[in-house]
Amino acid sequence: MKKNLRSRYASALVLSLSVVLMVTGVLMSIRTCKTYESILVQCTHYDRLAQPLQHLALSLAFYLGLTVLGSTMILLTLVKMAGRNHREIALLQQKNQAMDELNRKQQQLAHHQRLELLGTLTSSISHEFNNLLTPIMGYSMMALEKLPPEETELYDDILEIYTASKKAKTIISRLSDLSRKNSSSTFHQVSPDTLIQKTLDVVAPARPKNCEIKLGLNCWDQRILANEIQISQLLLNLIINSFHAMEGIDGVLSIDTWFDQESIHIRLTDNGKGIDPDALPHIFEPFFTTKEAGKGTGLGLAIVAQVIEDHHGNIRVCSTPGNGTSFTVTLPRLSGQKADETAL
Do 181 and 219 contact (CB within 8 A), yes or no? no
225 binds, among Mg ion, ligand ATP, none (CB under 5 to 8 A by kind): none
Q: Which of 290, 318, 328, 339 binds ligand ATP (CB under 6 A)?
A: 290
Does the protein bind ligand ATP through residue 245 (CB under 6 A)?
yes
Stretch that binds ligand ATP, among 31-39, 51-59, 221-229, 287-295 (CB under 6 A): 287-295
Binders of Mg ion among 54-83, rule CB under 5 A?
none
- Phi (first) and psi of residue 135, to 5 degrees: -65, -35
E strands in the chain: 188-190, 211-217, 224-226, 251-259, 263-270, 314-320, 324-332
Please give the helix or strand (H or E) that residue 180 lies within, else none: none
Residues 254, 259, 181, 306: is their CA dihedral positive or negative?
negative
Beta bridge partners of 113: none
Q: Which is nearer to ligand ATP, 190 or 299 (CB)?
A: 299
Distances (CA, A) of 100 to 93, 105, 107: 10, 9, 11
Q: Which of 241, 269, 306, 330 binds ligand ATP (CB under 6 A)?
A: 241
Does the protein bind ligand ATP through residue 288 (CB under 6 A)?
yes
Does the protein bind Mg ion through residue 241 (CB under 5 A)?
yes
Do 133 and 172 contact (CB within 8 A), yes or no? yes
- Judged by DSSP in three states, 152 sits in helix
Binders of Mg ion among 291-310, rule CB under 5 A?
300
Does the protein bind Mg ion through residue 286 (CB under 5 A)?
no
Does the protein bind ligand ATP through residue 25 (CB under 6 A)?
no
232 binds, among ligand ATP, Mg ion, none (CB under 5 to 8 A by kind): none
Residues forming contacts to Mg ion in the complex (CB under 5 A) are 241, 300
